[in-house]
Structure 1
Amino acid sequence: MINLKKYTKACVFASMMCACSLVQAQTSTVEGWDFQTEYLRHNKSDKHVDNYNLHVYTHLWNNDYLSLYGGGIATIAEGYMDREERNNSDAVGIGPSVMARLEFNPFGNFYAGLEAAGSMRFFTKAHPAGGRCYDFLWQVGPRLSYKFGNYTAVGISAYYAHASNGMNSHNPGYEMKGLALDVEYKF
């Protein structure tokens, strides 16, 4: 007997693969600097920590579909982990960051794809409250961009993000979702 759910998933996957084979293999990379600003809002009702981030990346490598970037992040984190101690998780942080973009060129100067980034952030105090003065920020989400010639590209991404310090103790992680705007420019 045919499992309708598995059959539907297989049909959707096959359709996506066919559609991907029809698009051009090219990234929106201009092999310059990428300036990305984002707002990440808390995703769970019991952990109210929002992040305002600025990423500055430089292009490291790319092929037809994939681009890799390295750079840094500056963060302003605001909020609290529990209602009794409001604003106990406000902090400012900086650190190194890496990013990968998987993109396709469906038509014209428009690009669509997936973006993933990982950052290690060092804060001015323990962040969030009950944690340590550093954490890791992992982000992933879809991206749309438009390329203006060979020197400029702009994009928008929707992210799902997770922040935690990766330790077994003093590790109050939290999830966020948000939007990022970026401008890539070759000087």
Structure 2
Amino acid sequence: MTYTVIGASRSRTIRVLWLLEELGVLFEHIPAAPHSKDITEVSPSGKIPALIVDGTVLTDSVAIMSFLADRHGGCTFPAGSIERAQLDGHLNFLNESMDFVLWSATKHHYAQPPSTLDPQVLKQAEEAFSNAQAEFEERLGEGPFLMGERFTIADILAAHCGGWAIGRKFPITSPRFRAYVSEMRARPAFQRVAPK
């Protein structure tokens, strides 16, 4: 079984690369940009990341992470368990309250002509992200991970969103969230795939 990950590491692709490193699974990486030939040949939407496994193309970073975690029995919990339902709840929260907010603000900023940028959109996104940080603290509880003592794909998603927010200069209103992101990104598996 071989995996090929397609997508630039300065994108949601880093989530998949990081997980593969955490799982200790070998893979090939093609650092393609969105809508480049390398990605459109396998996924007509041109969106990254994509994972090729057993001749099949999988898309969407969270779906790919869930698949890999299940397949290799790491960074997750068994389907049908209470812990898995809690983990899925964290993933849904992060997708809705952090990833979506960051993507909306990024897309508005880069996809719109400067003359049509609406400062209110960015302000609302920053407020929503601040609220999400407060809820994140509640979800983290005593930590150190979202699922207590066990590192999971939810931590990869949360840390990626945190790094994305810092890179976009979104206000980090929670010192605890900032510290958590730094701790997660210090993990050796992340450091092995982090963009240089």
Give TM class, smaller chain.
under 0.3
Higher helix share: 2
TM-score (norm 1): 0.20
State which structure, 1 or 2, has the greater radius of gyration over its C-alpha atoms.
1
TM-score w.r.t. the length of structure 2 is 0.20
User: Relative to total residues, which structure has the larger strand share, 1 or 2?
Assistant: 1
